[in-house]
Structure 1
Amino acid sequence: MTSFLRSDRSKPVAVWLFVVAAFVLAMVIVGGATRLTDSGLSITEWRPVTGAIPPLSEQAWQTEFAKYREIPQYQQVNRGMSLAEFQTIYWWEWGHRFLGRLTGLVFFAPFVWFAIRREIPRRLTWRLVGIFVLGALQGAVGWWMVASGLTERVSVAPERLTVHLGLAFALLSLLVWTALDAWAGGARQTLPSPWGRRAAWLLALIYFQILLGALVAGNDAGLVYNDFPLMGGRLVPEDYAAATLWGTLAHSQGAVQLHHRLMAYLVTGVAVAVGLSAWRSNYLHRESKMLGVALAAAVLLQVVLGVATLMARVPLSLGIAHQLVAALVLGVATAFAWRTRRI
């Protein structure tokens, strides 16, 4: 009978949400590999249901390949590609989309089960509904992104890639925060503390830096200015400014890389300062101190990895590692922000 009584906390629900977060993390990694291998435009249609079945015959493969040969990426970049080469990029994109469908199922089926059994803490029900809606929206945003590269461009629009990746990271953070809420229950009343605000601001800076990184990825800006700390021997790259403000902010390779570098300096300085301050604080519990230090260390690791990725001209292994560590940094920042509100 106790399983049907709604509680303020539920460890099974928390474990489920951590599993979903792991699936979202896998989506981010596979999506990064799909982008780095220029595979994202290999499937030129959005079929939410029937698209789960890949080509199963020679004729089906030829049909998909014929559709790909109609878009600018094939005509201007990959002309002469063999069917076997097309299949390689097709499987990357198909795998990314299939993992998205699987992630939706891993969220939805247990959600219904827990809801029927009334095991979801009441205060989290509508938050979980919102997470599901955002997850469903992510599929539509993904197609909106892909569609930008099917007619006039040879790659997706950088700003649409930024929205797509930004939503994925937002979902990851929300899932981690909600899982922690489900595990621990409602927060007790505490004395006012500046730590909650500090951690929240640091989380926001890290998230903004991830968005800037998405613009770098969308513009292939990691393939230019591969020296460090200067950019082509200059503090500000020669081709920084585009014809318009939006062109500079979203489409200039030099500008988006410079902005990502400058924000990295800011995030690193703030993260190290917050980590040291947290460790020395007499107000924070040990868990908060450890998370603050871990966050500073993770940010430093990400900076080293980012510089190495840039100077090596973004090889697949380093590019994926850089995106993976970005997700881990966001996860630790989320846990730190959550914990400092429960002093």
Structure 2
Amino acid sequence: MIDFDKPNKSVSVWLLVVMLLVMAIIVVGGGTRLTNSGLSITEWAPIRGSLPPLSHEAWLAEFEKYKLIPEFEAEHPDMDLAGFKAIYFWEWAHRQLGRIIGLAYLLPFIYFTVRRKLPKRNFRPFLLPLVLIGLQGAIGWWMVHSGLQEGMVDVSHYRLATHLGMAFIILGVLYWLRKSHNNGFRPTKIHAEYKKRTALLGVMVFIQIIAGAFVAGTKSGRSYNEWPLMDGDFIPAGYGAMSPLWLNAFENTAAIQFNHRFLAYILFGFALWVCFSMRKSQYMRSISVMLLGILFWQVGLGIMTLLSGDNFDPAHIKLALLHQFSAVFVFIVALAMAWKSRHFVR
């Protein structure tokens, strides 16, 4: 009989806590973007930056640094110190959560390694989140740095999408690692057809999240604030305005918003088919219902967010944050479905 490493409850709780922290930073990151706060801290100081300015003079010094970047003159020329503090704390909270996540993974990892509580046969997978979290910190500064350059008033939406995508990858790795650990890293009992369908579904959810990041990064949600049409047409007139044609998917506001909408329709339709195809499996039924429920909720939120219009209206910010937070649950449920298809019970 194969001697599998037994799961450790403390390790399971640790991974869950880090997962919750990653979910929190995704939402705080969304709030930072929606309040236009991401460029308020113009330096990368992982240690020194853990504390906010502690005196009036220090606050003035930080404000003066912000006044030197293009965003201040273009978008906040009338901002006072109180307004600067408001956006500063959004970005500071985002970076502080990043530091907390790094420590929340690193310190218990060292402790569990020294105490030999991590499985001997499957130790290496526990290194992956540590590497990805460190990489995410570098990606975060790479993203912010793009917005500090001459002629830029926002961060690069390509780098924003990379940063958000990595956050979801870290969340997914943590989820899968925890499930594997709780299951003792036992060999899987795979239902081949369910595995393929749920894997494709998970990939589609991730692609849709990245498409949402492009909408956010290019502020494409500020236009075409109607549904189901876009300026009176299903496909907006300006969809292919850029040349070469492929560039529209990444730079054209009309195309970016349409693609996000259309991918949502495709994703929802595919999810309906996947869940219908598994309707006879009592084992998969509950997760299928859960997925359809959260997708229906997410589509409704997306429409409401779009119709709310103004990106800086408090009601819009609340809806947009809820939409991003709900995307986390769509992602987790899709992962749960993929996991169950690999541990199939007939």
The two structures have a TM-score, normalised by structure 2, of 0.93
Larger mean CA deviation between 167-176 and 272-281 belongs to 272-281
How many aligned positions are there? 335
> What is the CA distance between 1:296 and its match in structure 2?
1.6
CA–CA distance in 1 between the matches of 2:14 and 2:46?
24
Change (3 A) 1:191 1:329: closer
Match of 1:243 in 2: 243
Once the two structures are superposed, residues 234-284 of structure 1 have per-residue CA deviations (whole angstroms, 9 ceiling, x without a partner) of 122222232344641222111111111111011101112212322323xxx
CA–CA distance in 2 between the matches of 1:169 and 1:31?
12
Match of 2:288 in 1: 292
CA–CA distance in 1 between the matches of 2:191 and 2:24?
37
CA–CA distance in 1 between the matches of 2:131 and 2:114?
19
Counterpart of 1:214, as a letter, is: A
Contact 1:199–1:340, Cα closer than 8 Å, also in 2: yes
Instruction: State the percentage of identical aligned residues.
Output: 41
Change (3 A) 1:84 1:278: same
> What is the CA distance between 1:6 and its match in structure 2?
8.7
Contact 1:212–1:256, Cα closer than 8 Å, also in 2: yes
> What is the CA distance between 1:107 and its match in structure 2?
0.7
Once the two structures are superposed, residues 189-237 of structure 1 have per-residue CA deviations (whole angstroms, 9 ceiling, x without a partner) of 5365311111111000000100000000001111110111111111222
Match of 1:205 in 2: 204
Match of 2:78 in 1: 80
Match of 2:97 in 1: 99
Larger mean CA deviation between 84-93 and 296-305 belongs to 296-305
Q: SS at 2:84's partner residue?
A: helix
Match of 2:19 in 1: 21
Matches within 5 A, 1:3-22: 7-22=5-20
CA–CA distance in 1 between the matches of 2:33 and 2:328?
16
CA–CA distance in 2 between the matches of 1:121 and 1:293?
34
Contact 1:6–1:119, Cα closer than 8 Å, also in 2: no
Change (3 A) 1:276 1:209: same
Match of 1:130 in 2: 128
Match of 1:306 in 2: 302
CA RMSD in angstroms, aligned pairs only: 1.6
Change (3 A) 1:124 1:254: farther
Counterpart of 1:309, as a letter, is: T
CA–CA distance in 1 between the matches of 2:192 and 2:299?
30
Change (3 A) 1:244 1:66: farther
Matches within 5 A, 1:135-174: 135-151=133-149, 152-174=151-173
Match of 1:254 in 2: 254
CA–CA distance in 1 between the matches of 2:285 and 2:113?
35
Counterpart of 1:217, as a letter, is: A
Match of 1:264 in 2: 264
Change (3 A) 1:92 1:59: same
Q: SS at 1:121's partner residue?
A: coil
Change (3 A) 1:189 1:150: closer
CA–CA distance in 2 between the matches of 1:98 and 1:191?
41
Counterpart of 1:236, as a letter, is: I
> What is the CA distance between 1:105 and its match in structure 2?
0.7
Contact 2:190–2:342, Cα closer than 8 Å, also in 1: no
Q: SS at 2:279's partner residue?
A: helix
> What is the CA distance between 1:300 and its match in structure 2?
1.2
Counterpart of 1:195, as a letter, is: Y
CA–CA distance in 2 between the matches of 1:120 and 1:301?
38
Larger mean CA deviation between 54-63 and 246-255 belongs to 246-255
CA–CA distance in 1 between the matches of 2:204 and 2:76?
38
Match of 1:279 in 2: 279
CA–CA distance in 2 between the matches of 1:143 and 1:246?
28
Once the two structures are superposed, residues 118-145 of structure 1 have per-residue CA deviations (whole angstroms, 9 ceiling, x without a partner) of 1112344222211111111101101111
